[in-house]
Amino acid sequence: MPKMSTVHRGVPNPIVLGRKFCGRCSRWRHVCFFTRNRHRKDGLSSYCEGCEALMRAERWAKISAAALEDKRERDRFWRERQRRRLGIPPATRRRIVLRPERVFLPREPIVRELVKIESRREFAKISGISERTMYRIIVGESEHIRLDLADRIATALGTPLGLLYELHWGAE
């Protein structure tokens, strides 16, 4: 239950020296922490943004799974209705295989080639990949590399990507 301010209900809290009293956390906050509310006399909400976010989270936590599913369904219908109204064709679901950025390869063959490079800065410009990304690949922050990155690196090296990985998998 939120704490009530000492000011009577319906009467806005006064703004004193650019600050307003939050009725929930019982603190004086700067007016920039209150959202606009054109229905109130002072034009600001009763609660600070932090308290409003907490109340919103509490409300969402109380909603059942079935009610959430119903809301998602209504939102989906609304988006489709708006799309039809604007004449945009219906959304098509893409399979993960059709998105090359979601396909991962082992990073070892690429790392073996990147270590041989003398000027990483020049190679980064040629391949269109940042030096930081190249560093992360070499250091091994992840055990896989995205297909599109591997292809850019192989193209900049002048070696077909399939050949790099054929050598790798042929050695195992």
Pairing mode, strands 44-48 and 144-146: unpaired
DSSP letters spanning 2-60: PPPPSSPTTSPPPPBTTEEE-TTT--EEEGGGEEE-TTSTTSEEEEEHHHHHHHHHHHH
Cβ atoms 114, 136 nearer than 8 A:
no
pLDDT value, residue 1: 44
Residue 29 to residues 14, 16, 25, 139, 142: CA-CA distances in angstroms?
A: 12, 10, 10, 47, 44
pLDDT value, residue 167: 62
Neighbours of 52 (CB within 10 A): 17
Task: Give the domains, in start order, of the chain with CATH numbers.
Answer: 1-90 (no CATH), 99-171 (1.10.260.40)
pLDDT value, residue 70: 94
Question: pTM of the entire structure?
Answer: 0.41
pLDDT tens, position by position, for the chain (172 residues)?
445 445 455 566 678 888 889 889 988 988 888 888 878 777 888 899 999 999 999 998 999 999 999 999 999 999 999 998 999 887 666 555 555 556 788 888 889 888 888 888 899 899 888 888 888 888 888 788 888 888 889 899 988 888 888 765 655 5
